[in-house]
A and B are shown apart, each in its own frame.
Chain A
Amino acid sequence: MWLTEIDTPVQPSEPAPEATPARDASNGLALRLRGLDKSFGTRHVLQGLDLDVAPGEFVALVGRSGCGKSTLLRLIAGLDAPSAGVVEAGAADERRLMFQDARLLPWKRVVDNVALGLAGRDARDRAMEALSQVGLAGRGSDWPATLSGGQRQRVALARALVHRPRLLLLDEPLGALDALTRLEMHRLIEQLWRSHGFTALLVTHDVTEAVALADRVLLIDRGGIALDASVALPRPRSRTAPGFAALQDRVLRHIISEPPMA
C-alpha cells in the first residue's frame, strides 16, 4: 500500500551500456532491506520498507523533510536499530557515513582527522593520498577551524574513502554548501564513485542533485518508497541534456502531489 507508483521494477536495472563506459562495480556492496519498520514512540517513520540496491549502484533518496530518508540512512549505517525488519548492508567496517555536518575533530589536524580509526604504519600516507584525491593535498597540517565549509566536507569525504568502503552513505552532505561549491562536490563525488566502485546512497532534498548523480532516484513518502525512477542519462550529466529537466520535473511533481501526512 505504500508503493503508490512503481514505474520501474524495484530490482535494479543494468547500467545502460551506451550511457557509461564500463566501470568496475565489483568493489560495491549489495544492499537488501526487507520489511523495515522504524517508529519513535507512536510515530511511525518507516513502515514495511523493502529495497534492493545492486553492487556499485548510485541511489538517491529524496523526499520532504521529515519523511524518514535520514532515518533510513541511519538504520543502514547501523547507527540506529530498526523496530522491525531486516537490514543487510555488510559489516560495519565495509560502510562509511558522511554526515550533514563534516564532524571533524577540531583538535586533530586535517590529515589526522582523515586517518581517524586507521591502523598501521602507513595510516598517515594513506590519509595524505586520500586528501590529494579530494584536492586538499597541501592542507594536511592545517587545523579544521581554518577550512571553509566545502573544504571541511571534502576532508570528511576523504576520511570516509580512506577506509575503502564498499558502501558509502551520504546524509545530505552538501546541504549547507553554496551552489558553486555543490557543483564542484558533485563532480568530485561522481568521479570518486566511478574510480572506487563503491555502492553509494545519497540522501538529499535537492531533486536536481539526485538526478545529476544517481542511477536511481527513490522518493520516500509515508514510510515507504513512493517512486522508483531510474536515470538513464549519460555521464557526466549536463543539466541541459535532453531528458534531464523532464525527469526532474516528474520527481518534483510526485513530491508535490503527495499531500503531507496529517
Chain B
Amino acid sequence: MTGLRELLLGRWRATAGPGRGVIESVEIVEIVETVETVETVESVETFGIRVTPRGAKAEGAWPSVECQVYACGEEDRQPGAAALGVVALETRSVELQLRVNKGILCVMSWTRFVRADPGQRAWVTRELFVRASPEVGP
C-alpha cells in the first residue's frame, strides 16, 4: 500500500477558479488503529477523505468518511491510485471516485437524493485538483 499512500495522501485544492465546481478542497488522510487481541497487537491502516465543498459556511463541511484504496494500471509509465468513499449528508449522498495520475487528482461526485423527489434528479460532476501541501514521505 506504500506507493498508493504516497500518491494519494495530502491536501488537494481545486484547479477551477472561485464560483466554479462543487468542491473547494479534498484531504486524504491515513488512519492507523491499534487492534488488540488476547495474543497480539496489530496496527490496521485505513484511509479517510475530508471534502470541503464550495460555500462551506452556508452548508457546513462534509463529514469525514473512510475510503477504500485501489491500485491503478500505469498510464504512460506513471503509477496511479484510486479511492472510493461515500459521504452521507442530510438530504443526499455523494459517492466519490478519486483517481490520482501524473500529480492530478480527478474527483467524480455521484450525487443522489436520499428520498425520491420527482423535482430533483441525481447528477454527476468531474473536478480536478492539484496538491495544496507537500507530498508525504515514505
Do A and B make up one complex? Answer: no
Residues of B within 8 A of A (CB): none
